[in-house]
Structure 1
């Protein structure tokens, strides 16, 4: 059932594009209603508008907390286009509202500024969310604009057809509900605060919006995209190169997490989600050269991460290697100039720590959630369990290898010497096979190296293989039923062995 007068209710915090939208509606014969702040902004532009409190007969109260929470407003939005509903509105002296343009108080921006709890509470929008929900529920009759980007297509449809098509209304309603849902999640997470950040929530509230459409997923026949918290900037910035792929992002995170665990200057090269080389050096360029020397064959087509600003010397050292991605906290201008000829290589500046309070992955139609495996360097909990203790050089290498091994897919083995990995065995079903792979990668460099294992040795065979290759010291969590046999094997070969008491599986 149609009605002659058409009303639009405008109540916005973000006034981008508002004046042009309002003028367009007025030109089409619409009458405008607005809350006080929005009405003042429109009046200042010379646009005719009726103050909502004059229309309802109720002024804004409680310091502005109640503006739009009035039966005349919500009945005007929720009334169906039937004779019965329209008659009930008319009997009360109310009129239907045909369009709502609302965006919500900037709650997340307020919280990001570090406001007090009381100020954050005042930034929670109630009336705006209620308007969005009411208008979106009745999308068959009411047009709902929840973002300034909605104004141009709505105005175009009204000009061309005199109406907004049903499918467009439904899409706008879906967007309004999505924005309201994201808003609620942000508030709930803020109020849960530190209590929830320390553990696992009873209800998992995901707050994410699609930020990047990727070329494809892990394989070309799969679609892929990157989603992240819409209230925060992307944790990285692409300075040059092709669009990032799904696998690029997985490897980027693996490389960045690993290099952050090492003292600067350090470099980590990742291939297929595993480090193939990691090293520290006197300079960043030296750290990269040492990381590359760890396994130059596997490094081809990998991702390189640095934990300090890339300089010209490091950029020059990168010239001989094809890499998909280079990531660092920043780059000197001369380094960017030297990297510019690598047109296909993505050069990434990491803006902030991308670590989330939880790690989430899909499984069995649901989600597995865990707290991150943060670095633990409680050396006081480490125990020397063999007759021989590590010498100072071995101690330093054991600490380095232990930091690297937790970033390698389990079963994981890392051989290292002098702040450089020399052999890595990753993702094996058998731990002794992981040792064999690491030893094979190291070759003669295994002599005098130390070995780190992400979990205990279930049998002494891994230690036997390492000892035969010339490894001199081992670090592992301990905890196997056969620990006494493993320790006896290490003693028999003159190896030093340290138990950390902490496992670092990474599946």
Structure 2
């Protein structure tokens, strides 16, 4: 039995080589791995002694040889292959243990020369060759499999199922590795290729998905450093699928609105949003805006949580509080609640620019909705300075509400959020009927144009004084005319903000 070992990650290498050596396995190795094996007190043969050719091009070429790949790829049950190997004096290689150059780590250095040199050539070639011939060759790419390998060899329990499992891991690794390289060149050139090469690495298995019957996991994108790339969960039980999904919306909105913003969210939909001069006032205003829906929801706070704010937050049940930071006193208060999750998030990071939706057998990929809105008054009456601030605030909030979406704002606090309806007027009617408060002096934002003037009529009945909407309907003039009749100012943003 012969094994070729060439690894960048030398974790548990001593255990592996001692175990193979004790089983009478001859070990072939290269460079730094060969040195490490000998330092572990185990004999090994240099690849050069097998290939009869020295390493060249600074190590770029060392295992690319028929004496290596012939020994891996020949089919033990194929008489012609066996005869060829015998005639060419090529010895079998039965085990290939390889992990790859740290291309992912090189990416973090931003050093182009280092990145290119960390594109592994020989490693993936060895892995793919061994995995292709998995029925005859064991291919090991995961350090976690070393103990299983040795145990199965000792007990003579290596079967085709185990071999296929290792091959699956091997092809998965090379596929992921190549996707990182393809992604790097796409980022560098800005060119599309007709293929979507992403590559995600599993961060954790989740308890379940949206429902207990659904399996779920969290994967990370090495090319994106955004709000949820490295959240610090400092207290509470593990995050669930729904927790992460909800947190993503809440944090993105809080980041877009800026420092001192409080976002309360339930089921991926904002239920209350406020931005005041300090975070405590923002939270209190958001709580007052919808004290019912916030219960059991998620709270994103763009700033530091102090003792006073923590005291207020602790008065109700919240699934998650995400903030830029927590003071020591705030943590002492909030960690008394066993089930609440406290998460530190960097709201200053750049928002990811890609949105992906997996369909049944197809994938939709689009840019994030980041277009700058215009602000074009279209009515006789112009919005006041205060209304202008509220209109812009409302339009940012409405981007994060499911279509058809309308949001009512007063003093940079939502006083009504309606979305997910098949008719825009129903969404506005829901606000009027479900929120027990006065809307006088509030402003209205809509994620898409008004096809009729019904929303304007209802806005007038509610006491709303200004409206922002994209415009672009064939019947825009009907809405403009009705606004002029009711003394409501209206502004066109020229951008639709559907969210499905």
- What TM-score results when the alignment is normalised by the length of structure 1? 0.94
> Which stretches in structure 1 are left out of the alignment for 5+ residues?
1-5
Q: 1:105 and 2:105 equivalent?
A: no
- Alpha-carbon offset, residue 220 of structure 1: 2.3
Distance 1:354 1:27 in 2: 53
The corresponding residue for 2:19 is 24
Asked if structure 1 preserves the Cα contact closer than 8 Å seen for 2:381 and 2:484, the reply is yes
Among 154, 158, 166, which residue is 1:164 paired with? 158
**What are the residue-to-residue correspondences of 1:22-421 with 2, within 5 Å?**
22-82=17-77, 83-116=79-112, 118-161=113-156, 164-196=158-190, 202-229=194-221, 234-350=229-345, 353=349, 355-374=351-370, 376=372, 378=373, 381-421=374-414
- Alpha-carbon offset, residue 217 of structure 1: 2.0
- Alpha-carbon offset, residue 363 of structure 1: 2.3
State which drifts further: 150-159 or 80-89. 80-89
The corresponding residue for 1:488 is 481
Among 4, 7, 19, which residue is 1:9 paired with? 4
Distance 1:232 1:25 in 2: 40
Distance 1:354 1:165 in 2: 49
The one-character-per-residue Cα deviations of 1:422-471 (angstroms, maximum 9, x if unpaired) are: 11111111111111122334444310111111111111110110111110
**Secondary structure of the structure 2 residue equivalent to 1:445:** coil
> Which stretches in structure 2 are left out of the alignment for 5+ residues?
none
- What TM-score results when the alignment is normalised by the length of structure 2? 0.95
- Alpha-carbon offset, residue 23 of structure 1: 1.2
- Alpha-carbon offset, residue 374 of structure 1: 1.9
Distance 1:257 1:195 in 2: 28
**Secondary structure of the structure 2 residue equivalent to 1:8:** strand
- Alpha-carbon offset, residue 206 of structure 1: 3.0
**What are the residue-to-residue correspondences of 1:451-490 with 2, within 5 Å?**
451-490=444-483
Asked if structure 2 preserves the Cα contact closer than 8 Å seen for 1:79 and 1:86, the reply is yes
- Alpha-carbon offset, residue 373 of structure 1: 0.7
Distance 2:193 2:266 in 1: 33
- Alpha-carbon offset, residue 402 of structure 1: 1.1
The corresponding residue for 2:491 is 498
Distance 2:312 2:371 in 1: 29
- Alpha-carbon offset, residue 231 of structure 1: 7.8
Distance 1:219 1:16 in 2: 38
**Secondary structure of the structure 2 residue equivalent to 1:323:** coil
Is the alpha carbon distance of 1:294 and 1:334 closer, same or farther for their aligned partners in structure 2, counting shifts above 3 Å?
A: same
- Alpha-carbon offset, residue 392 of structure 1: 1.1
Is the alpha carbon distance of 1:119 and 1:170 closer, same or farther for their aligned partners in structure 2, counting shifts above 3 Å?
A: same
Asked if structure 2 preserves the Cα contact closer than 8 Å seen for 1:477 and 1:500, the reply is yes
The corresponding residue for 1:428 is 421
Distance 1:394 1:230 in 2: 42
The one-character-per-residue Cα deviations of 1:212-244 (angstroms, maximum 9, x if unpaired) are: 322222222222222223688943232222222
Is the alpha carbon distance of 1:25 and 1:244 closer, same or farther for their aligned partners in structure 2, counting shifts above 3 Å?
A: same
| Count of residues paired in the alignment | 495
- Alpha-carbon offset, residue 44 of structure 1: 2.3
Distance 1:38 1:214 in 2: 36
- Alpha-carbon offset, residue 356 of structure 1: 3.5
